[in-house]
């Protein structure tokens, strides 16, 4: 049986290019296919698309079983969901990068395990820019303290920041949330001297707004695979 991606999927690339042109940008925007709840067969279909750069998964256990069956892949796997302390070791084993680093405790723990394994783990700090209590990510008021801790960890490599925009149709609120993350990354680059190239923001419903505010990595599930079925 052959699996089908969402019919809208073929329009995504053009929409990204248009959003870039509207923003006067010609840098590369990376694309994470958010494959939570999707089967390995669906993921293999997505891997065939030339502009897909990564898989994004939000649960360690789900990713672990899929990676086992998947076999080799040209794509790196990114952890984009909240990471519980007791799954930190597993996460380092399975994922190529951890994008949801949101606390000092987790940074210290990941660093210790990475050192034990003789690895340097690429990470993003996730910031809650929407003010929504249900969202994960460090509060902006605690961001600098976390930033300073992460940069002290020799076995973590801080590549940038991630956020999930607010759940609203109000374009101004969405833009403001993404603009805040952009300000934080600019500020972080001058504070740390690190290049921090990755500004991960934008999902199926708001990636164009994110690109307008400087996103370099969009994370798209629904628009690529179709509606999710949580069972």
Ligand X SMILES: *Cc1c(COP(=O)(O)O)cnc(C)c1O
2-61 binders of ligand X (CB under 6 A): 34, 36, 58
Cβ pair 138, 178 in contact under 8 A: no
Interface with ligand X by CB under 6 A: which range of 17-25, 150-158, 179-187, 202-210?
202-210
Q: Helix crossing, 104-116 with 143-152: angle to 10°?
A: 10
Distance CA 108, CA 117 (A): 14
Is residue 137 a contact residue for ligand X (CB under 6 A)? no
What's the min distance (Å) between Cβ of 8 and ligand X?
A: 11
Closest CB to ligand X among residues 66, 219: 219
What's the min distance (Å) between Cβ of 116 and ligand X?
A: 28
Rg of the chain taking only CA atoms, in angstroms: 17
For the chain, the first-to-last Cα distance in angstroms comes to 21
Q: Which of 204, 211, 215, 217 binds ligand X (CB under 6 A)?
A: 204
Burial 14-38, CB ≥16 within 10 A → b, else e? eebeebbeeeebeeebbbbbbbbbb
What's the min distance (Å) between Cβ of 203 and ligand X?
A: 4
Closest CB to ligand X among residues 192, 222: 222
Q: Which of 114, 150, 164, 217 binds ligand X (CB under 6 A)?
A: 164
Distance CA 220, CA 210 (A): 12
Is residue 166 a contact residue for ligand X (CB under 6 A)? no
Interface residues with ligand X (CB under 6 A) are: 34, 36, 58, 80-81, 164, 203-205, 219-223
């Amino acid at each position: 049986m052959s699996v089908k991606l969402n019919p809208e999927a073929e329009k995504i690339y053009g929409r990204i290019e248009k959003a870039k042109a509207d923003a006067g940008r010609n840098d590369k925007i990376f694309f994470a296919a958010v494959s939570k709840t999707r089967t390995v067969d669906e993921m293999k279909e997505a891997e065939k698309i030339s502009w897909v750069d990564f898989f994004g998964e939000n649960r360690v256990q789900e990713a672990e079983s899929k990676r086992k069956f998947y076999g080799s892949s040209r794509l790196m796997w990114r952890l984009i969901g909240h990471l519980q302390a007791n799954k930190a070791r597993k996460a380092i084993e399975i994922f190529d990068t951890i994008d949801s680093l949101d606390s000092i405790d987790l940074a210290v723990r990941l660093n210790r395990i990475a050192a034990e394994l003789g690895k340097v783990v690429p990470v993003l700090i996730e910031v809650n820019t929407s003010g929504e209590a249900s969202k994960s990510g460090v509060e902006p008021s605690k961001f600098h303290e976390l930033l300073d801790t992460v940069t002290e960890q020799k076995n973590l490599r801080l590549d940038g920041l991630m956020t999930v925009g607010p759940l609203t149709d109000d374009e101004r609120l969405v833009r403001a949330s993404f603009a805040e993350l952009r300000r934080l990354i600019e500020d972080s680059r001058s504070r740390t001297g690190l290049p921090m190239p990755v500004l991960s923001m934008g999902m199926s419903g708001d990636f164009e707004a994110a690109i307008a505010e400087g996103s370099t990595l969009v994370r798209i599930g629904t628009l690529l695979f179709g509606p999710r079925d949580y069972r």
